[in-house]
Structure 1
């Protein structure tokens, strides 16, 4: 198998990373570039899917708008990692808009 890296970005992935890293608060610098093993993704996902809404909302890294969707978002990440046999996900705080802006700035 050729080397392939799974890069995850956006709210659900970065929140899963923050929970896996057991951060005391949301820290983009600690999250960006972190490598989260699939076992940690499975563990965080299981916890989120069984947690009450109040428990999810109480996590210090949880954005209020993500409380109701984080279980599903983490499950999507876990299923992708399992289906495609990824051992880890590299987490990015940047997305396509950052790339577009950089490209336009270079023109």
Structure 2
């Protein structure tokens, strides 16, 4: 069986490898494991070992929080894309702010010919 130090190290390494769009179920499992490790940390007497373990706990918590933020950002971006596409479908005659035509600026006819 691994020591607390090794378990925190493994948990932190796993959290760092979650990638751009982490699985929410895996995040929840890792968060539960961190909570279990932190409960075990309460039994460690005060001293240098407890201090090192508390730093490892903070590092693991930070990695898991960053992964959760990335997952939340990916879900928000996907929801915004769906909402924008839905809005474009409901209002086909109105240009979406993200539409390629929305960036078109009329200019002199000669300038538009040069762009082509």
**TM-score, scaled to structure 2:** 0.29
Higher relative contact order (CA 8 A, sep 6+): 1
Question: Which protein is richer in strand relative to its size?
Answer: 1
The structure that has the greater radius of gyration is 2
Which structure: greater helix fraction? 2
TM-score where L is the length of structure 1: 0.31
